Amino acid sequence: MKRTTTRLADGRELIYYDNADDAVRDAHDRRPLPPVTASSEVRHNALLGERVGYAAHRQSRTYHPPADQCPLCPSQGERLSEIPAPDYEVAVFENRFPSFSGEMGRCEVVCFTSEHDASFARLTGEQAALVLYAWTDRTAELSQHPGVKQVYCFENRGTEIGVTLAHPHGQIYGYPFITPVTERVLRNVAEHKRRTGGNLFDELLEAERADGRRVVAETAHWTAFVPHAARWPYEVHLYPRRRVPDLMALTDEERAEFPGIYLELLRRFDRIFGPDAPPTPYISGWHQAPFGIEDRGDFALHLELFTIRRSPGKLKYLAGSESGMGAFVSDVLPEAAADRLREVAS
């Protein structure tokens, strides 16, 4: 695999990832772009004990452009985009409208393919492996950024989720703090270790595999299951069998098996609601250990995939109980969700 780094007209970094070692990426950005004027701020909520980011410049970001003006498609002739090349495999660039930037972290866009009407689920195993390589490479790079405490590689898919660009893409957030969800997980893992001497991640995975009712797919190195206390109507967690803190720690064998099981999960998600249903909206993201913390090896890398669609034509809205109090009430039992995900297997 080959990595080629260049700069866009306004100085932002752009990185091409190619399967062929002899790929040439020498196209230059011909757009007359003004410098990026991003300014982020982080404030602390003392009552909740969590941080909130502010990025007012994002109000002017690109919003649902027509397909022939997509900024993530390759540049063609005089139709210039964020990708100067006339074609690409995987491309990663600094977001022009970042939530965090400079000393306050970094935000990047990951284009999974040059095909505008494709989806991650329709990628080949080789293409998905290249995306995994890009996620891993960017995690390694951002781990050295002095303003980054945690890296989150994720995909928002579907207008129902709030996606404003239809082109298949994801994002990578290098947070300048440890996120609230991860802080809660770390506290519970540490408390469990203090109380029992065991690892909570390991025990939860072992319990799901032993129970079996919520396991939806397995390989020699990966297990996918609906968690016992899932928050979302259809939610799947994908764990490597061996506990590792981040993407960088995966073995070659684990990497080789990932595309097959992940693509199968995404394709099942698109079949949950029947053949006539529109593509299932989802959020998918890698949970990795923050940097510079004690007992980092106690954290278990895993991917969480979920949809806000609860039945055909109906969404799970975060209304009073969920948004106001953080108390989730789900309409679908985890065992029923697992049954359905097994039913729609390839």
Q: How far apart are CA 50 and CA 43, in angstroms?
A: 9
Residues ≥6 apart with Cβ < 8 Å to 209: 215, 218, 223, 225
Angle, helix 252-269 to helix 125-142, in steps of 10 degrees: 120
Per annotation, catalytic residue among 167, 169, 221, 302: 169
> What is the dotted CATH code of the domain comprising 181-343?
3.30.428.10
Q: Which of 31-35, 247-251, 300-304, 339-343 has the lowest mean pLDDT?
A: 31-35
Enter the tokens of residue 115. 């095909």
pLDDT tops 80 at residue 61: no
Q: Hey, where are the domains in the chain?
A: 2-177, 181-343
Element counts in the chain: helices (H) and strands (E): 6, 15
Q: What average pLDDT does the segment 15-21 reach?
A: 97
Q: What is the pLDDT of residues 68-93, one digit of tens each?
A: 999 999 999 999 999 999 999 999 99
169 catalytic? Reply is: yes
Domain 2-177 grouped into CATH 3.30.70.100: no
Tell me, yes or no, if the two domains 2-177 and 181-343 fold the same way.
Answer: yes
Taking the complete model, does pTM exceed 0.85, yes or no?
yes
Q: What is the pLDDT of residues 171-222, one digit of tens each?
A: 999 999 999 999 999 999 999 999 999 999 999 999 999 999 999 999 999 9
